[in-house]
A = this chain, B = another copy of it.
């Protein structure tokens, strides 16, 4: 197997090596050919003679050559391997690529989003796009690591469900033998059930929302970093846990991906300690006072309001992250715990990061009878929730709550991407499941 990577070459000056990778770029100067060779670890320049002429973009090659120090004035500071180059001796072609539809050899690729996604299997290879998913991997793995450190147990939540999870209409039906079932909108019910098994649990789960709208912040299949914890003394502990996890994630991305943050010309979000917390009502009042826009009667922040609160948090607290708490009872799901001091409001929170919702969480109703009452208030039939959900409460559920971090949302906002589709390797939306669906329908006519 391949055991030499391009990033290893800086320590091999003067040695003859064989590297394997893709031709990222070729410049043909008649008797001399310059090739940028890419592998997962980096890019290196190879200087070859005429026999290298026939190589083209994305061809996969094994190149034998001598690692040389570059003259000082030719050092490329943008590349990890910018201080070296390879004097190519010979090569063997591993796989020939067909002609590319566009050049992916430059530092950035300038494509419209539809083209970027139409050629996803190609564009994902570009170092700047690939980098998004290195950051995403770090986020996921850091989440799991900190959850384990905090004593949470990981489990696998199912994604096929018999009842639309939260009573809403925005679910995808699945034809399941002779029945119709649904794709889970979240692992919510299952993580609550598992609290009565392991007390503190987490899961990284795919979830599905059939929202019939096309925005820059929604995809139909998303990944949730979900946690749920029992035996809480106060709902504040949930928010504190979310804060701890988030800080660890941001710190780790910052420590590990200096080069990628530089590539995206961005810093990780500024956070104050503790992350500021304001009630939704206060947030709406602040927006009114700052902008004159009066949304004080609304049960939630709108996208414009979320942006304004971000600016406010930066100015007032020097923080790009802020918790908004006490969402109205009417606006939150039926299992949300009402504030005993004011039952119109719930013990719930969202975290707004860089002007978008990253996290949602709160305490849940853990008393069986109260939960049944609330389900009825929401005009749902408790019978539809008995198995498996209400059963867990019938037989004893401690006070509990939890939160969910949207993986694509946080990836998008940490790197400052303008569309959530860029933060999913294979994003699904109303119009696309790899292929453009409308086109697919047409072609079948």
Question: A: which residues have CB within 8 A of B?
Answer: 1-2, 20, 22, 39-40, 58-60, 94-98, 100, 118-122, 124-125, 130, 133-134, 136-137, 140-141, 144, 148, 153-162, 172-179, 181, 183, 190, 193-194, 196-200, 204, 206, 208, 210, 212, 220-221, 223, 229-233, 237, 366-368, 387-389, 391-392, 394-399, 407, 424-426, 428, 430, 433-435, 437, 440-441
Contacts and interface: CB of A to CB of B under 8 A. Distances in A.
Given A159-B206, A396-B59, A391 B177 contact: no
Contacts of A237: 1
Contact of A174 (B2, B158, B173, B200): B173
Nearest to A443: B383
A311 to B, nearest CB: 32
Given A20-B398, A121-B391, A158 B98 contact: no
Given A40-B199, A181-B433, A231-B20, A162 B98 contact: no
A398 B60 contact: yes
B95 A366 contact: yes
A35 to B, nearest CB: 14
Contacts of A198: 40, 130, 133
A129 to B, nearest CB: 9
Nearest to A178: B441
A58 B130 contact: no
Given A100-B395, A121-B395, A156-B407, 9 more contacts: A1-B232, A59-B396, A125-B196, A134-B153, A162-B437, A176-B210, A178-B441, A190-B425, A387-B434
A348 to B, nearest CB: 18
B160 A208 contact: yes
29 contacts: A1-B232, A2-B230, A40-B153, A60-B397, A94-B398, A94-B399, A95-B398, A98-B368, A98-B394, A121-B391, A121-B395, A125-B197, A130-B198, A136-B155, A137-B153, A140-B154, A141-B144, A141-B154, A159-B206, A159-B221, A160-B221, A172-B174, A173-B174, A174-B175, A176-B220, A176-B433, A179-B433, A190-B425, A204-B204
B58 A1 contact: no
Given A176-B433, A177-B430, A137 B154 contact: yes
Nearest to A192: B121
Contacts of A134: 153
Find the residue from A95, A124, A434 having the highest chain B CB count within 10 A: A434
Oligomer copy total: 2
Contacts of A397: 60, 95
A181 B440 CA distance: 11
Contacts of A136: 155-156
B95 A162 contact: no
B428 A158 contact: yes
A172 B176 CA distance: 6
Given A392-B121, A396-B97, A177 B212 contact: yes
A437 B161 CA distance: 11
Contacts of A395: 58, 97-98, 100, 121-122, 125
Contacts of A223: 156
A378 to B, nearest CB: 20
Nearest to A98: B394
